[in-house]
Structure 1
């Protein structure tokens, strides 16, 4: 290649690189500006409010929590996230109205988000068990009681967090005013029911699309919707082809889109995604505790109130098994709240409706 041509190519590449650097700097600057605006929108300014984020020593490692609320006198609500590994920190701006009525605590569980980033996989891997995480939850609540000067708190568990949350309140009911489950996981039966509903939905989509090949391959699953590895491969294939709505397809509500949440860096996003994959390896799937354990084995008697808030259009953790579990339990007070048209992420895509249920059925229980 002639030197002049090579020089021109080099200059062109430098020009492209310069443009990319300028574009990246502009994008980062815009993100920083939007995060600044979001911080102003979400700021707690009341004189008796609380707005804290910190690592706390729990279970032998540093675990990240965020505490927000407009009045420290309000009941404390610990939200136990799903996933597993699904930190709620970047997707919770819709909870700003909750903070008028509750002091809301978010927790990056063992293997999640900033907790994952601080500890690292080598430290965490041997400890990723249901038993250890149950004790983590108890230690966290003990810390919150002391730090926020409360005798008891409310625990809200979502999806995986509902499975973990039941184990926490069952071991230490004396720490809680009430347990609230949403997207409640009972055990393997939850996912077997979800699979059956998915097959029915796929058959309907195939019929609507006139897809004969899909109908032929799905026919044995429709006749016997057993969740074997082979059947799951067939279901996954046609889920993608026919456009079965996925767990990621929900629409968040709230004033701040996730990319612009304040105090959530690009490194935090990296840890968020890595933590999800890491936690799933130990806690989800056919060998994970949600499949191998069942909360019914803990017994039907609860010594604290139990409230389940369930969407009737939740195909990921269908409300049927949750309602059957609810019917079997005994508790000083229990309430099953059915949200018409609600899907799996009610606290995030219908935060106002979820708050209304909390205020009606839960907050009156949170008193000494």
Structure 2
């Protein structure tokens, strides 16, 4: 980590120095021409150059300082005192040669370990999970992982080189690190949206490492999901007479999409469906609190920028690689208990596909838990019930270690 920060600082300062040299060179050329002929203009240019250079140095320092001071808050009791034997860490790991960040939070560092897999690909929910699922920290060491190409781990790998296998390899490496550090034979796994698919990939390939898995906003068939979402958005737009949206959808055509505009074309119907769910009175606590999440102390200023770059760039590159995956055909046998937490009003990840998957899935235990007042994010929409159900499901698979 220190080497990367030092490299970043020197690179940034080198760029600033180069720009400063160029500006000063231009300044002296202009000065030599204007000093004698127009002293007032010379003085004005001199001040502008100095102000610009000072602003750049200040901004570089501010960014660097924010990256150094990013942290996750201590676990405290009702009186604000740090809880004995708790854990609250924000650390960088080397996973298969890729530098990546995780947060570790729990009231008791000897508790079972729960790894949360964020949505995306390219999404970071380190701040969101801390805010929404703080109750889980009383029962688990909750681990949040900024995957390659997202948030604090945006530079872990070049975007063009990230594949689904990258996430599987690094997810397993992280799992092994957690098992060794906390002296566990197995850990618990939870994934939302894209993370729910990654969770299936991991338990399918490394079942010996996991007690049980919870998938929420569960993805099953990526290409069919996009077609269903597109059709649903078109149906809603027609019912509302939303001509502009209809025209945009028809102009883009039916997904799946490929190329450099996957993010932007998909956003047309995905954002529309998100707004539709946010306005559904049956869904409690709808939507993400993006401003709160991005302002979380875990993110420095550069991380905040990469919060969005991951959603745009990494998603665009990786998502189109997933269209051939269909859990109903590719992952019908899993040797780990599997529980799907589904929002009754989810129009982003079609629940009918999960029900079909359940029909063909062979697992030691499997169950769908419905959340009647949720959309795509039961862990946000009904967080109290969500925590209760997590404890219930994982209690069934809680051997003493």
Residues 139 and 214 from structure 1, CA distance in 2 versus in 1: closer, same or farther, beyond 3 angstroms? Answer: closer
Aligned twin of 1:331: 363
TM-score by length of 2: 0.71
Question: Offset of 1:193 from its aligned partner?
Answer: 2.2
Q: Within 2, Cα distance between the matches of 1:349 and 1:366?
A: 26
1:364 and 2:396 are equivalent in the alignment = yes
Residues 247 and 271 from structure 1, CA distance in 2 versus in 1: closer, same or farther, beyond 3 angstroms? Answer: farther
Aligned twin of 1:352: 384
SS at match of 1:365: coil
Question: Offset of 1:56 from its aligned partner?
Answer: 1.3
Within-5 A mapping of 1:31-42: 39=73
TM-score by length of 1: 0.77
Would the aligned equivalents of 2:274 and 2:287 in 1 still touch at CA under 8 Å?
no
Aligned twin of 1:167: 201
Q: Within 1, Cα distance between the matches of 2:381 and 2:111?
A: 24
Aligned twin of 2:339: 307
Would the aligned equivalents of 1:51 and 1:67 in 2 still touch at CA under 8 Å?
yes
1:204 and 2:239 are equivalent in the alignment = yes
Would the aligned equivalents of 2:334 and 2:362 in 1 still touch at CA under 8 Å?
yes
Q: Within 2, Cα distance between the matches of 1:332 and 1:168?
A: 16
SS at match of 2:153: helix
Aligned twin of 2:140: 102
1:138 to 157, 172, 184: 172
Q: Report which of the two structures shows the higher radius of gyration computed on alpha carbons.
A: 2
Residues 2-58 of structure 1: CA deviation (Å, up to 9, x unaligned)? x9x999x99xx9xxx9xx99xx9xxx9xx9xxx99x946878822221111211121
Question: Offset of 1:265 from its aligned partner?
Answer: 1.4
Q: Within 2, Cα distance between the matches of 1:237 and 1:116?
A: 21
Consecutive unaligned residues of structure 2, counting only runs of 5 or more, are: 1-37, 279-285
Residues 248 and 125 from structure 1, CA distance in 2 versus in 1: closer, same or farther, beyond 3 angstroms? Answer: farther
Residues 305 and 116 from structure 1, CA distance in 2 versus in 1: closer, same or farther, beyond 3 angstroms? Answer: same
Q: Which has the higher contact order (CA 8 A, sep 6+)?
A: 1
Aligned twin of 2:373: 341
Aligned CA RMSD, in angstroms, stands at: 4.3
1:114 to 152, 164, 168: 152
Aligned twin of 1:294: 326
